[in-house]
Amino acid sequence: MTVASFTSGPPAPRTDADLIGSNKRFYDALWSEAKLFAPDRFNTWPLVSELAAQTSRRLEVAPGLRPRLPLADTQFVDLSRPALAELSRHGARVANAMIGALPFRDASFDFVCAFDILEHVVDDEGALGELARVAEPGARLLLSVPLHPEAWTAFDDFVGHYRRYEPEAIRALLARHGFTIERSAVYGMQPKSSKLLDIGQWYLTHQRARAMWWYNKVFMPLGVRFQKPLAFTPGFAPGPGVDEVLLVCRKTQA
């Protein structure tokens, strides 16, 4: 097997319809063959359990089958029906909707999570505006995003990313919608080796069924097992080479 290099520059502009279609195809296939991982298996759990104990009306957007918030008493929203069916089977409250049009009243939640989602949508202003709309003043927001457009690879394109963020751009976007960043941590489980990413994408492109089996049965369990504890620092000042961050934010404006 010859594996070509998949490193590339940022993608050509795509429409919402393009992104929705590619995301739905990729994640419906992924979640159809996956099992649900309980929230307490992730390194986000110490933080989440701390914040969940202080809140009562929780929303997680686009969790797939990797929810970070407790299944009980949390509202989950996703575009993937296979993911929603499995979440519901485990007792979660679910709704089929998109981040840009959440079916909830203003100020409905005091704890909102959106992991790995803003980079998938064209209108991130509208998406974050919806998160701000349904969050009450003082609510907590957990948000993860990939950083640095110059770090773009074709793998970002393949999994349906629209952008990577410069640190100041995500800080400014949050501020425009009334959120301040309280603390942050390096986040994510992407391999450091570009060769591993190239091989993984080759299999996803040419032998998808086998790649999905290995991801769901081997690589995902191993990745979860060997996660490092999150190391939070006050505010947000990512060092060089940081691929993805988790931001703990508070809504400060009505």
What does residue 15 show for φ and ψ, rounded to 5 degrees?
A: -85, 165
Neighbours of 96 (CB within 10 A): 12
d(Cα 19, Cα 163) in Å, to the nearest integer?
A: 11
**Residue 68 belongs to a domain:** yes
Tally of structural domains, the chain = 1
d(Cα 10, Cα 8) in Å, to the nearest integer?
A: 7
> How does strand 135-146 pair with strand 109-115?
parallel
pLDDT in tens, 169-188: 999 999 999 999 999 999 97
Structure tokens that stand for 33 in this block: 């063959």
Q: List, in sequence order, the alpha helices (H) in the chain.
A: 16-32, 45-52, 81-89, 124-134, 154-158, 167-176, 194-206, 208-214, 220-225
CATH of the domain at 135: 3.40.50.150
Count of positions (residues) in the chain: 254
pLDDT in tens, 18-33: 666 666 666 667 677 7
Q: Is the pTM of this model over 0.85?
A: no
Q: Does residue 98 carry a pLDDT above 60?
A: yes
Neighbours of 74 (CB within 10 A): 24
**Residue 20 belongs to a domain:** yes
**Residue 22 belongs to a domain:** yes
Q: Does residue 7 carry a pLDDT above 50?
A: no
**Residue 194 belongs to a domain:** no
Q: Does residue 6 carry a pLDDT above 50?
A: no
**Residue 234 belongs to a domain:** yes
**Residue 6 belongs to a domain:** no
CB-based contact 249:141 (threshold 8 Å): yes
* Structural domain for 106, as ranges: 16-189+228-251
**Residue 98 belongs to a domain:** yes
What does residue 8 show for φ and ψ, rounded to 5 degrees?
A: -150, 175
pLDDT in tens, 203-241: 566 666 666 665 666 666 666 677 889 999 999 999 888
The C-alpha angle 68, 156, 158, rounded to 5 degrees, equals 100
Share above pLDDT 70 across residues of the chain, in percent, rounded to a whole number: 73
